[in-house]
Structure formats: structure tokens, C-alpha cells
Structure 1
Amino acid sequence: MTELNKGQMVTDEQLTAFIDGELNAADRNRIEGLIASDERVAERFDFLSRGTLPFTDAFQPMLAEAPAARLDAMLAAIPSTQESNVRDARIGRRGFLTAMAASFVAAIAVDRAVIGIGHRLSKPDEDAEWRAVVAEYLSLYTADTLSAPAGDHAQQVAQLNEVGAKLDLPLAPEAVAMPDVEFKRAQILNYDSKPLAQIAYLDPESGPMALCIVQSTKGVAAPDMENRKGMNVVYWSSATHAFMLIGHAPIDRMQQLAADVRAHLIA
């Protein structure tokens, strides 16, 4: 702290120290006299005094939202050559503001680092990508989309034979039939220059539903579940193909329907 000399104009730093109670008795007496006798000093004192607000309370909501655990872990790992000085330092109003600003800067750095690491560690999942495309497409379907008659058994056989030939997978109406769900059509779509089979159904309770199939070399995978575009998905794969059943029905019903279809396709 700079000592006060007679005749020297008081600085903002000295006034702040006066407000924070960091001056000795002689310097305090001199500044009190200047405040009483010098209008400029009095105005500056009034301005700086407005800064003596409850900063901790004011910024507590923002501090509570900061990633404290991650920030603490990061700071704990940084060696400090001034640890003893920091431990002994008195943190007043100015110290709190400085520490708060530094903590927010550090928190932003931590968040960006975590995001960057997440991007580097995540690898594209081709299986997930095709399911996302199917979900995007099927989310546009309504009951009216599938209102056309499904055709007789012979027409269903013809459609499924054509679709199955594109995928090198035998398909029959009995293999893809689901209880209480109406078969509507089977068609081939194009995904990433590869055939994608869509077998569309209309569930009277929940609306459009689809069994979709692509050729895959990922290997056998047991059924799993996810939610896309507000629809429930059950997906699995065989040694040669990947399957997904998607619709708005409850997940337990979707699981049962998928299990029935899977058993028929394996048989």
C-alpha cells in the first residue's frame, strides 16, 4: 500500500483501501479530512462507496451454475509456486472480484476442453446414422400416408420377394407379420448408395410403424433400444443384416413385436 504524503492528491486505490479498512490511523484521519473539505475527493469517495455491495450474494446464482467439481479438479492439478502467498493473502472486495473473474475464465476453458475431448473420443457410428435417417423419414408419416389398401396376399409376396432380392434376404408375409398390426407395403429406399428395405405397417393404436433392413458386416448384435424423433426403436443385427423396428407404440410392446419378427426371420 502506498503511503500518504501531505499535499499529495488521494488516489482511487487509497480511497478503496480506506473503504476496506486497510489504512493506518494517520492515513485514515487524513482521508477523512479530505473527504470533508475537498468536494472532488468527496464525490470520488461516494462513487467508490457504491461498490461496497454484497458481491458474493449477487453472483452466487452464477457461481452455483459453474462446473465447480471439474474446475476444482483442474486447479488442484496445477502446481503453484505462490501457494504460501495465496494461503496467507487477505482477500477483500477487490480480491473477491479478481478471483471470481478468473474462475469464470477457467470454467469456460474447462468446458471447452471437455467438449473438445468428447468430440475427439466420439467416433461416427454408421449403424446409428442409418437409424437416424429412417427416423427422420418416418417422423413425416401419418395414418393418412398409409391409408391405401395393402393388396392381397399375392401382391404382398411379390413386394417382399422384390425387396428381399435386393438385400439377398428371403422375406415372406408370414415372417414379417405382426399381431394386431396391419401390413401396408414393402419397398426399397436408397441409403448411402445402398438398398434399404422399408416394410411399413399401420398400428390402429399408435399409428405408422416400420421394419427397416440394410445389409451389414458389423456382426451379430442382440436387440437394444433407443428413442428417435419421439419414436421408440428396437434394433439388432445378424451376421449379414441390420434391423430396426420403429414406431410410436410403448417400448414394451415394441420389444415384443421385434422379438416375434426376429424369431421368424431367424427361422
Structure 2
Amino acid sequence: MVAKKIIFSNQKGGVGKTTTAVNLGAYLAQKGSKVLLIDLDSQGNMSSAVSADPKKLGSYDVIVGKCTVSEAYQSTPVENLYAIPGGIDLAGLSVELVNELAREFFLKNALASINNEWDYILIDCPPSLGLVTINAMCWAEYVIIPMQCEYFAMEGLNLLMRTIGNVKKQLNPHLEILGILFTMYTSRTRLANDVVDDVTAYFSDKVFQTKIPRNVRLSEAPSHGLPINLYDASSAGAQGYENLAEEVIARV
């Protein structure tokens, strides 16, 4: 097997990026795939959402060559789902790399040997378009862009699209947008529906049909260290991410 390499990116925080990485990974694993989650955010929220221990070796250690991937990944409560935690060390990584030769490719080089060990490798990027995120884009095949249905999200989307286009042109010709995912969606508000209509009109086939609803159970699950398929599989949020998993499988 050759891993499908997917990153979750949006420079705006609080858009459901980590929630999407965790729960898509959980449903892909539940469907029988061997999945590795890698947390590149210094806040480490992805790690805690799957009960990974941030005190152990993490993504920072892998990137700077202190350990291998096989030494860093941990099991999670979901069978077939494994995670490499993030942590505070990542906060200064961009500064550490800035004067290095081929600084955009540290992550790609660190992960080069593991492509045949996993069905999917999913990376949760920090909420910025800095050097850590650029490293992830230089490694990835696909980008999933979670976004909320609000006015300012549109402005951020244009900047993100330009960045992805520049990386594709100059550094990674294989990079593709797998899809734009609407999160925290409430069909009752006119603004939400206007944003969906505008983005869909402009990006058409790049928009996932699945919309992740605003859902209390989704918000609660990380505090229990569980993905939504284990915390409340009957919730609307769980159904949303199961549907997303089906769409992703069909697209890759």
C-alpha cells in the first residue's frame, strides 16, 4: 500500500480543522484503513482529542531528527488509528528552520520512509501559513480546507488558495485541493447559506457535499479524549464525519 497524504489547513483558527482531522481519521480507521494522525500544532489539541501523551516523543522530534516515526507514534482508543502528538516545541520550529538549506522539505524528508506502512497519513496544520504549514504542503498530496460559514472566512479562503497555488507551482506539483468542508453549519441562518452558495458557485466540484453541523456532542468529545464515533456514534456530528469519510474514499 502507498499512503494517501492529506493535510488540514486554514490560517484562521477555530474552524474545525482539528475536529475534522481527528474524526475523519477515526472513521477511515473504523472502515478498515491503517491511519496515522500527525499533530503539527503547538497547542496539541489533536493529541488530547485521541488521548495521545504529549510528554512522549512527538512531531517536533521527528522533524528535527531526534527520533523516527516508528519511535514516536502512539496507539489511540480507535483500532487502526495511531497518532504522533504535537506540543509547545513546535512553536519555535519556524525560527529554527528559517536559515536551514531546503527548509521547506524537512517534514517531507522526515516522513519519506513510511509511505508504504499506512493507508492514510493525516496532518493537522497550525492556524497559520508559516514555514511549518509550508512544510506540510510540500509533503502532501491533498489539502482539505475546513471553513465556517461566515463572511470573513471568504477573505481567508482566497489567501489560502493563493498560497496553495504558489506551493504547487514552485515546490510541490503534486499538491491538490481535495475539498472545502463547511463546518459548524446551521441551515437556519441566511448568512450560512449565502456563504455556501458563493463558495460553491466559485469552486464547484472542490466543495464537499457533506456539511458538518454545529453539534454539542462534537464539542464535548475531545474533553473525553475520544473521537465522535466512540463518544456518540448516533449524533448528527458523527453522521457528518462518516459521510465525509465516504466522500474522501471516493475522491482519492
TM-score bracket for the superposition, by shorter chain length: under 0.3
Higher relative contact order (CA 8 A, sep 6+): 2
TM-score, normalised via structure 2 length:
0.22
Q: How high is the TM-score relative to the length of structure 1? A: 0.21
| Structure with max Cα Rg | 1
